[in-house]
Chains A and B, each alone.
Chain A
């Protein structure tokens, strides 16, 4: 059975290559900072299970210090100029889309064909991780397709990958670190404290008020915790179940589903949902770190109101 560990080794090797190429990049004045940062990420992927909890904690501290002290720069791997790219684009034509389309095609193949496959009674892919394993497979095959079809230098996947990785920079690790922070929050009972505050101090005498508290609470709590999954159990135990479902007779499926989607409105508005909101501005080289959040806020707020109306109208018996 192919497990996630194989994918971790592959990811670790990629980051190790980024670290080595960073160290050799004389054009980047901060090259050793980059090498250390990507080297630590490589170490985490290759050997994280052997470092021990405290070892991993020190590794995280190292990453945060390198990023926080401004030791990360942007590498300058040799790449094509804009003029060369225009000429190449004209020469290759529609062929250029093939590697990019290979990604979803192989991913689909993995999920639809490989995932159900069994070898000697064992599933071929770890069923819980089939999507990530398929994604890794797709990434490798797409690189092969790109190299053959577009006749690019063999080192180019690593150098171009490093170019994009340096553009994203420390933001790349933020989603994973925020997920870890969520665990520490849970350990300290942050959710329970906030849930208690919401249910004790807010008025919920009418159905409209209770709907508003639940939906706004889901959005607000999601903004603090970074994802709606952490908010749902707290708010539903405090407001959804006892008040909306039991006291006012709300349809549990409608209350829960629309409540969760109100949480998603919060996800659109918080920097703590870094993979959606902070990584894209880095990838798109935007000067304002919060530009994507700002573009999402109006939609999120209007949709939050729409959710409250939908729940009020649809979730209760007439």
Chain B
């Protein structure tokens, strides 16, 4: 049971909004020490794993080009572009993007869009402008809510599209785990079962986006949304 102390450190640390890097290091030390390791051994294990997971941070390589095109006015241009399509409101815009993300992720094209290269420079400014054209000048809270919703839509699209693709990590993990337990399955058998949830995710989040759109046009959004 002592092993779970580290989990408690994470929960309390994140809830109290301490710096997450410190919280994670503290949680690792508490977990390791309560499992009987020396602090030096825990720090070594953490360092080794940090080094092995460097690939996670490689995505930051797209920041320079995004910065350059922002410097040259990309966000402003994205706003002008969406303003030309006066009929497109924020809800349908985000729904269209979610469909694009789900469909491309379903054929394995997960990295062709993302938070740094698509949501920040293109989707978020387009969504803000689409809302502005309908509801007039936006409050800061509305602006932030729209950006958060754009980021959320990107995540939801990817999560509930990618498992339809055969060679994604989670499918391979399931195939491997079940095979070790004596159940031999083809990746295709698993990935077809991702389709009902993908449709449900599209319908649920799509409905929420339409409601969000309506609320923006009517006035200030409710708290927490």
Contacts and interface: CB of A to CB of B under 8 A. Distances in A.
A22 interface: no
Interface in B92-122: 109, 111-113, 115-122
A165 B60 CA distance: 8
B6 A89 contact: no
B56 A176 contact: yes
Nearest to A140: B61
Interface in A45-88: 45, 48-49, 51-61, 63-65, 67-68, 70, 79-80, 82, 84-88
Given A136-B61, A158-B64, A299-B204, A187 B45 contact: yes
Contact of B49 (A97, A161, A183, A190): A183
A87 B77 CA distance: 10
Contacts of A181: 10, 24, 27-28, 46, 49
A30 interface: no
Nearest to B200: A306
Identify the interface centre among B4, B11, B51: most chain A CB within 10 Å of its CB.
B51
Interface in A146-190: 146-147, 150, 152, 156-165, 168, 170-185, 187-190
B54 A8 contact: yes
23 contacts: A4-B55, A7-B61, A44-B50, A49-B51, A51-B47, A160-B63, A176-B50, A179-B56, A184-B42, A185-B6, A185-B7, A187-B32, A187-B45, A190-B6, A193-B4, A194-B4, A252-B178, A253-B185, A283-B151, A284-B124, A284-B150, A286-B144, A296-B155
Interface of A: 4, 7-8, 10-11, 14, 41, 44-45, 48-49, 51-61, 63-65, 67-68, 70, 79-80, 82, 84-90, 92-94, 96-97, 99-100, 102-104, 107-108, 129, 131-132, 135-136, 138-139, 142-143, 146-147, 150, 152, 156-165, 168, 170-185, 187-190, 193-194, 224, 228-229, 232-233, 236-237, 241, 245, 252-254, 256-258, 260-261, 264, 267-268, 271-272, 274-281, 283-284, 286-289, 291-292, 294-296, 298-299, 302-303, 306-307, 310, 314
